[in-house]
Each structure stands twice: as C-alpha cells, then as structure tokens.
A and B are shown apart, each in its own frame.
Chain A
Amino acid sequence: MTTPGVADALDVAAREEAGRVLALLARRHGDLDLAEEAVQEALLAAWRTWPRDGVPANPAGWLLVAARRAAVDRLRHEASQQRRSTGAAADPTVASGDAARVDRGELWETVADAPDDRLLDSGTAIPDERLRLVLLCCHPALDRDAQVALTLRLVLGLTTTEIAAGFLVPEATLAQRLVRAKKKIRLAGIPLSVPADLSERLDAVLTVVYLVFTEGHFSAAGGGLVRVDLAAEALRLAAVVDGLVPNRPEVLGLRALLTFHHARRDTRVDGDGGLVLLDAQDRARWHTGEIAAGNALLDRAMRGAPPSRYVLLAVIAALHANATSPAATDWVTICRAYETLARLDPSPVIRLNHAVALAMRDGPDAGLAALEQVRGLERYHGLHVARGQLLLRAGEAAAARAELARARDLAVNESQRRYLTHLLTASTDSGSAGSAT
C-alpha cells in the first residue's frame, strides 16, 4: 500500500521532475532516446523503492542520480556490444553531440555532473532546461500531431496510454507516432537548442498548448469515457512555458484565455451531456477564484506592447467571464476587440464570431449582414448555428429551421447534435429561442 504522501511525490516525480531530468540528460548526452529510457528506469526505481524507504529529501536530485546511472549503464552496455562486433571502443561516459560543444562550467552541466551526495542533498536545485525540450518537441520540421504527442509525453510526462485516450486514437497509432517523431529528430538532426529569435518558435509551442486545451475543452461532453483531463494538462503546460520564458505577453495572454475558458467548465454541459451555450450557463457555478487569476494574468499581458492575438482573445474571454449576466456583457468593447483581432488574423472563424458580437450590440439584422461577408465556412456547423439563431431572433422561423437542420447535419459530436435537435423542437413549438453565442 502506498501512503498518500508517497503517492503524491511519485505523481510529481512523473509529471514535473521527470521532464526536468530528461531535459538535462538529453542535453548532457545529446541523445533524446537515451535520456528518455534512463528517466523511465529512474521512475520505475522510484515506484519500487519510495513506498518502502520513504520519499527522498531531494526527489528531483534522486531521479537525476538514478537516471544518470541508468544512462551510463546503457552506454557501457552498447559500447561493450560494439567492442565485441568491431574490436573498437569509445569511452561511453564522454558526452557527445550538442553537449560536447558547450563551454564547460555552465550551471546545468555542473549540476548534471555533480557527485551523487550533492544531488541527493535537499539544498541542491535542479536547473530547468525544459525550454530546449519544449522547442524540440514543437519543432516545425515535425508534423502537428507529432508535436502534440511528444510534448505531452516528454515535457508533461503523460503516458502513451493517457495521450491515446485523450485524443481517442488507438494506443498503437500513438506509440507509432512517437517512434516516428523521435526517429526523425535523430536522423534529421533536429537540435536541442534555443534560437536567437524565439517568437516564431514560441508561436508553435503556443499553438500546441491551444490544441491540447481545445481537445480537452470541447470533447469533454463526448462519449462518457474516462479521459485524462487535457484542458488541465494544457493549463499546466502553459504555466511551465510561462515559467521558462517569463513576462512574454503572448504567453500570459494564452494562459489568461485558457484560465477564463476553464473557469466555466462545470456549466458547459448539462446533466445529460448536452451542450450549454454561454448565455444559458449558470454563472454562479463559474470558478470565481480562477477568473480572478485570469484577470491578473491578463493585466500583466496588457502591459507594454500592443495586444497580440492571444491577448485579444483573452480580452474577449475576460469580458464574458466577468459579466454578471448575458445582458450585462460589454458588447461594445467585445466588438472593438474583434475588429483589431480580424486585422491580425483575418480567418473566417474570427469574422463569424465578430458577426455574432455585432448582432448582440446592434441587433440580429446587423449580425446577419456581417455573416453574409464570411466566406469558406459553408461546411462548418457553427456558421449555420449562428445564422439560424439570428434568423430566429429576427422572427424568420422557417429560414432559421433550415439553417439549424443544416447545422445538425454538419455537427461533429453528439452533444452538439442533441443541442440542435432541442433548439429545432423549441423553434417549432414557439417560433422563438434564446440569443446567440
């Protein structure tokens, strides 16, 4: 039986400290596979011994000692096999790749090579080299699915089983995706490095965070399967990235945005798994403490530079999250934020949301006119939901029902379909329904 304190420590070891140790070892040896296997062995050793011997004084240092030993054992084993087949030998403990070219004496290196007893001492901090690891996992030479899987596996320490369940893909598919991605990293020579201009690469990282969040947030209603909480994992990843590159407005903005969305999680789905839209959600059940945390993050994101994409999205989310009722929402400021956003990101989904906000400010006809200008979303159910709802508000019930029926045909999950069926029935009964968004 594992006592609660040990169980928590093992959880933190797998989710937090494993990523740190992995980043350090990958840099030390210039070999991601070696680092991953060594960390895995160290975690297994922790699961075996901590329940018996208690949690070590410096869990991260303990993991580093164990993983370092596992890495050297593996290198020795490989070298002796090579010796048997070729007669030649290399010193397995000498670092190769990236690490060998770095000047001696950097903090990470001093700690990676420190004696065991120093690492086991509770006063020794383990340096955080995870920025390199995050940038490697989100490298543009890897495809998006591979970036997501690698980041969750290596940075957040999720298991292959958990990631596969989170994205509803077979475990074998996910495992294969990880193997291919690591092979590409190795053979194509993708480095563990931090480029001089971070913004473009950081953008890819934030896209991965956002994708993980939306997967968790919008699929929460589906299936009734036990799934790892991807929305919470995305928030954790955003916090890690914020810690690695502090005070970047786009990172703070994304954190704020996700925090506001996540604060509404308990009210987005009703007891039957049906979708509940913003204007019908029970605001008393929103997590007010989290909304306050989102406000504080957004305040920091708004300092200095003109707002970027995620900051503007966070501004809009904040105006919704802080409004006491749908009617009390500041639609004027929301419309202004969408106008700025549409200039930075002229995507049709942004234009669609802008049109819905305009309808809230100026009435359904203004929204319908703006929707006429949106191109390329004919097969997106959201366009037809918006148009159907605005037509209902404008009193055109027959046209509205045609749009809602079209939306139901295009809906991607059961909770959306159920919601639209409900809306269609209601519109037939009364000829009217609630407002959009």
Chain B
Amino acid sequence: MEFVILIYGDESIPGPTPGTPEFQEFMGTWMGYNAALKESGHFVSGAGLQPTATATTLRRTFGVPEPTITDGPFAETKEQLGGFYMITAENLDEALDWARKLPVPAGSIEVRPVGVSA
C-alpha cells in the first residue's frame, strides 16, 4: 500500500533562523528522518511547501464549466482533502492549466509551489 502523510502546522510561528546552531540542529532532525525513510525503503516522494501566501485556489461548482481562480489557500471547512498530485511545470499558468483539467465536478483545488524537496 501507499500512504500520504500530510503535515499541518501554524506557519505564523517562526522556525529557527538559518545560520544559527538551532537551525543546524532543526535541519539535522529532518535530514535524519529523510535518511531513515529512504534507507528502510519506504520513501516515495515528499517536500516542504512554500507558505500559504503563495497559494492559488481553483473552485469548481456543479454545472459551471469554468472554475474561478482566487488568491489564497483552500479554506472551506466543509470540504475534505481527497487527493493530491505533485507535478512539474514551467510556471504557475502551466500548473493552473493542469489543475483546470482535473476531472473534479465540484470542489476546491489548491496549487502551491514546492519549497524544499525531501
């Protein structure tokens, strides 16, 4: 079986500053986790995302052919996460074109750039 592990957190709480010993230690724990996951053969792919300020959301409504595109992350509490794709694209427009092509009849699709790959 394959599983997805989704990480939620409060992005307004700042992490340690790059260049400080705290940052080294913090990154060390992540690299250790990644290495353990890879060595044990469990790793498929993973990444840290850019903050939600970089997100763009497409919203689809039943019966409406074109989605609406808005600035900002997915925020509808009565919808639940149903899947994800990780794609490579030249720019946001290309990524949005693929998001637009998803055969989802209704719902929200958040597009966010990847920051650091695991």
Min C-beta distance of A65 to chain B, whole Å? 29
Contact B70 A188 (CB under 8 A): no
Min C-beta distance of A29 to chain B, whole Å? 15
- Is B92 at the interface (CB under 8 A from chain A)? yes
> Across the interface, which residues of B come within 8 angstroms of A142, CB to CB?
71
Contact A188 B93 (CB under 8 A): no
Contact B53 A190 (CB under 8 A): no
B residues 85-118 near A (Cβ < 8 Å) are 89-93, 95-96, 112-113
> Across the interface, which residues of B come within 8 angstroms of A184, CB to CB?
53-54, 71
Given A141-B56, A184-B53, does the pair A189, B91 have CB atoms closer than 8 Å? yes
> Across the interface, which residues of A come within 8 angstroms of B95, CB to CB?
189
A residues 131-146 near B (Cβ < 8 Å) are 139-143, 146
Inter-chain CA distance A195–B69, complex, in Å, is: 16
Contact B93 A193 (CB under 8 A): yes
Q: In the complex, how many residue pairs between chain A and chain B have their CB atoms under 8 Å apart?
A: 51
Contact A189 B92 (CB under 8 A): yes
Q: B94: nearest residue on chain A (CB-CB)?
A: A191
Inter-chain CA distance A200–B66, complex, in Å, is: 11
Min C-beta distance of B19 to chain A, whole Å? 10
Min C-beta distance of A156 to chain B, whole Å? 21
Min C-beta distance of B53 to chain A, whole Å? 6
Contact B71 A190 (CB under 8 A): no
Inter-chain CA distance A143–B70, complex, in Å, is: 7
> Across the interface, which residues of A come within 8 angstroms of B50, CB to CB?
187-188
Please tell me the size bucket of the interface on B.
10 to 19
Q: A135: nearest residue on chain B (CB-CB)?
A: B93
> Across the interface, which residues of A come within 8 angstroms of B71, CB to CB?
141-143, 146, 184
Cβ contact of B90, chosen from A139, A140, A191, A195, cutoff 8 A = A191
> Across the interface, which residues of B come within 8 angstroms of A200, CB to CB?
66
Contact A143 B113 (CB under 8 A): no
Contact A141 B113 (CB under 8 A): no
- Is A180 at the interface (CB under 8 A from chain B)? yes
Contact B53 A180 (CB under 8 A): yes
Given A141-B56, A180-B53, A184-B53, does the pair A190, B93 have CB atoms closer than 8 Å? yes
Give 18 A-B pairs besides A187-B54, A188-B55, A188-B112 with Cβ atoms closer than 8 angstroms. Answer: A139-B92, A141-B70, A142-B71, A143-B71, A143-B72, A146-B71, A180-B53, A184-B54, A187-B53, A187-B113, A188-B50, A188-B113, A189-B91, A190-B91, A191-B93, A193-B91, A193-B93, A200-B66
Residues of chain B having any CB pair with chain A under 8 Å:
50, 53-56, 66, 69-72, 89-93, 95-96, 112-113
